[in-house]
């Protein structure tokens, strides 16, 4: 399983609420047509939590996007599709900055099945 995780920052002319509305109601449904996407999750930032023993990172983020693919080949086919182009073109309307990671996820809770 390949997972893409992206931190998203809205364009300056948008409020957080405008960004979330477009991301959920216009952008999100476009992902339904992208071939090979196993799962798509939008995490909408509603607040922060600080710790007294660890300084906070100075990163402004309006949302976190997660896309799952069965394997790297599925991701590459999806990335080359016209449906993904529509999705990324729409994202460019509301996203001013993005940082994306390719992730090999290690599940801790619940423990993965033995074998």
Does a structural domain hold residue 112?
no
Per-residue pLDDT tens, the chain, 115 aa: give them.
Answer: 899 999 999 999 999 999 999 999 999 999 999 999 999 999 999 988 889 999 988 888 999 999 999 999 999 999 999 999 999 999 999 999 999 999 988 888 998 888 7
Does a structural domain hold residue 37?
yes
Q: Which of 69, 1, 66, 64 is nearest to 35 (CA)?
A: 69
CA gap 111, 5 in Å, rounded: 22
Does a structural domain hold residue 57?
no
Cis peptide before 110 (omega within 30 of 0): yes
Does a structural domain hold residue 70?
yes
Does a structural domain hold residue 14?
yes
User: What is the count of structural domains for the chain?
Assistant: 1
Find the CATH number of the domain harbouring 82. 3.30.70.100
Does a structural domain hold residue 32?
yes
Does a structural domain hold residue 113?
no
């Amino acid at each position: 399983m390949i997972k893409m995780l992206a931190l998203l920052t809205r364009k300056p002319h948008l409020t957080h609420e405008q960004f979330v509305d477009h991301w959920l109601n216009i952008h999100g449904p476009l992902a339904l047509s992208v071939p090979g996407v196993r799962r798509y999750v939008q995490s909408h930032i509603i607040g922060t939590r600080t710790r007294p023993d660890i300084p906070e990172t100075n990163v402004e983020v309006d949302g976190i996007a997660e896309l799952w693919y069965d394997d790297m080949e599925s991701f590459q086919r999806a990335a080359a599709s016209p449906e993904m182009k529509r999705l990324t073109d729409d994202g460019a309307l509301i996203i001013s900055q993005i940082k994306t990671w390719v992730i090999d996820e290690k599940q801790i809770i619940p423990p993965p099945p033995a074998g």
